């Protein structure tokens, strides 16, 4: 490594958070050596992270998500390049960079060779550390117009929404889209679909959150505790049903989506919150001639398309709150807030 590829202020040790799957209270901020970038690798000084539901599965050790040894959690983050290994050509010192969630999925369709080692899982390292080493091909620059905290929300939730709405759903201006819920993927989907000129309906059990999504551009909102979602959506579309559904709940809620979508429409299926299996009305599936897309985050190429779109359309991700990553109390509280479902927008950790 040549002198110009190494920032002079890099220390020998750093702090990283470790989980063994025993819950939020067992998270520990631990000192360890700063990693050194090898050939075609970059060293990032991490600046911000955002939390996803998936992170809770690892930290709480749910079913097959429990780590067999302590691991660094979290999938979403933004850092600054402070060192470059030999042969690096894609990034310069000082560039803002985000590691990609599926590091081997850089372009094209997802296959077995690309669907390996997702970042922040029970096996592969996560990004909740002061310094992280990433291969240059497994990272990308976030949108220029976003703050670092906002940019930290993109690699999982926003990219998943982009894959669902733009790549697979191919949503167009004037079409109708039903988005279930107000979680991270849902909010990004609302913003993307609205920016494309689509008319958006949103469900929630919170009148406050429904008012907030109307402020984001949602045209029609439904409190699923009080109203029949499918009937409300059919009434809104003149009995036709929506062109596309972003299904973020999963489980038997798919039946609601099947009753809400038009004949020949599409459903982007993302959600795991309602369980991994359910009884589904296959008659609705057949008679509506519907296409169901299973959505798994997205490739680096998709991320780059998303970043360009965000810059061009002036989209600002919704951030619920920002907490200091240096405080064990604040980090634990952020995860508890995520678990409670009370947040509107992404929960972000920031390194001061």
Note the maximum CA span of the chain.
Answer: 67
Q: Cβ(82)–Cβ(36) under 8 Å?
A: no
Residue 7 has pLDDT above 90, yes or no: no
Burial class (CB in 10 A: 0-12, 13-18, 19+), 70: middle
Helix (H, G, I), strand (E, B) or coil at 261: strand
DSSP state of 107: S
- 148-191 pLDDT tens trace: 999 999 999 999 999 999 999 999 999 999 999 999 999 999 99
- Domain 3-153+317-350, CATH number (from 3.90.180.10, 3.30.70.580, 3.40.50.2000, 1.10.10.10): 3.90.180.10
For the domain bounded by 158-294, which CATH number is listed? 3.40.50.720
| pLDDT score for 178 | 98
CA angle centred on 104, ends 98 and 109, rounded to 5°? 110
Beta strands in the chain (DSSP E): 13-18, 28-33, 41-50, 76-84, 96-99, 131-135, 139-140, 176-180, 199-204, 220-223, 242-247, 261-269, 291-294, 319-324, 346-350
Measured distance CA(167)–CA(302) in Å, rounded: 8
Residues paired with residue 15 on neighbouring β-strands, in sequence order: 31
Dihedral sign of CA atoms 47, 342, 164, 117 in order: positive
**Between β-strands 220-223 and 199-204, what pairing exists: parallel, antiparallel or unpaired?**
parallel
Residue 24 has pLDDT above 70, yes or no: yes
Which residues lie closer than 8 Å to 140 by C-beta, 6 or more apart?
A: 97, 98, 100, 300, 303, 304, 307
Percent of the chain past pLDDT 90, that is, above it, reads 88
Range 133-153 average pLDDT: 98
- 57-86 pLDDT tens trace: 999 999 889 999 999 999 999 999 999 999
H-state helical runs in the chain: 53-59, 148-151, 159-162, 184-195, 207-216, 229-236, 253-260, 282-287, 300-313, 328-340
Structure tokens at 11: 């220390």
Q: For the chain, which residues make up each domain, given as ranges? A: 3-153+317-350, 158-294
Tokens 């099947």, residue located: 258
Backbone angles phi, psi at 267, to 5 degrees: -125, 125
Which residues lie closer than 8 Å to 244 by C-beta, 6 or more apart?
A: 165, 169, 171, 175, 176, 177, 178, 198, 261, 265, 266, 267, 268
- 84-117 pLDDT tens trace: 999 999 999 999 999 999 999 999 999 999 999 9
* Residue 4: band (very low, low, confident or very high) from pLDDT cuts 50, 70, 90: low
Residue 3 has pLDDT above 50, yes or no: no
């Amino acid at each position: 490594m040549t002198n110009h590829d190494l920032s002079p202020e890099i220390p020998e040790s750093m702090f990283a958070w470790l989980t063994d799957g025993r819950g939020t209270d067992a998270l520990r901020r631990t000192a360890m050596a700063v990693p050194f970038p090898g050939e075609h690798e970059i060293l990032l000084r991490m600046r911000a992270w955002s939390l996803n539901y998936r992170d809770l599965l690892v930290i709480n050790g749910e079913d097959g998500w429990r780590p067999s040894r302590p691991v660094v959690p979290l999938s979403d983050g933004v850092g600054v390049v402070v060192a470059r290994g030999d042969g690096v050509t894609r990034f310069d010192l000082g560039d803002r960079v985000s590691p990609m969630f599926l590091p081997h999925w850089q372009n094209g369709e997802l296959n077995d060779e690309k669907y390996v080692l997702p970042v922040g899982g029970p096996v592969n390292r996560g990004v909740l550390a002061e310094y992280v080493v990433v291969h240059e091909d497994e990272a990308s620059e976030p949108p220029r117009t976003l703050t670092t905290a906002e940019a930290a929300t993109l690699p999982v939730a926003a990219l998943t929404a982009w894959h669902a709405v733009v790549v697979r759903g191919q949503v167009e201006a004037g079409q109708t889209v039903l988005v279930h819920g107000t979680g991270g993927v849902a909010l990004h989907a609302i913003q993307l679909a609205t920016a494309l000129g689509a008319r958006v309906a949103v469900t929630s059990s919170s009148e406050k959150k429904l008012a907030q999504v109307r402020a984001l551009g949602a045209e029609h909102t439904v409190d699923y505790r009080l109203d029949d979602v499918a009937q409300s959506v059919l009434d809104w579309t003149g009995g036709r049903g929506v062109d596309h559904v972003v299904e973020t709940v999963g489980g038997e809620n798919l039946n609601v989506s099947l009753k809400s979508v038009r004949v020949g429409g599409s459903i982007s299926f993302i959600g795991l919150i309602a369980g991994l299996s359910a009884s589904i009305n296959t008659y609705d599936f057949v008679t509506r001639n519907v296409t169901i897309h299973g959505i798994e985050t997205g490739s680096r190429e998709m991320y780059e398309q998303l970043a360009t779109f965000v810059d061009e359309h002036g989209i600002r991700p919704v951030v619920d709150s920002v907490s200091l990553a240096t405080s064990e109390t604040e980090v634990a509280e952020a995860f508890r807030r995520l678990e409670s479902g009370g947040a509107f927008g992404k929960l972000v950790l920031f390194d001061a």
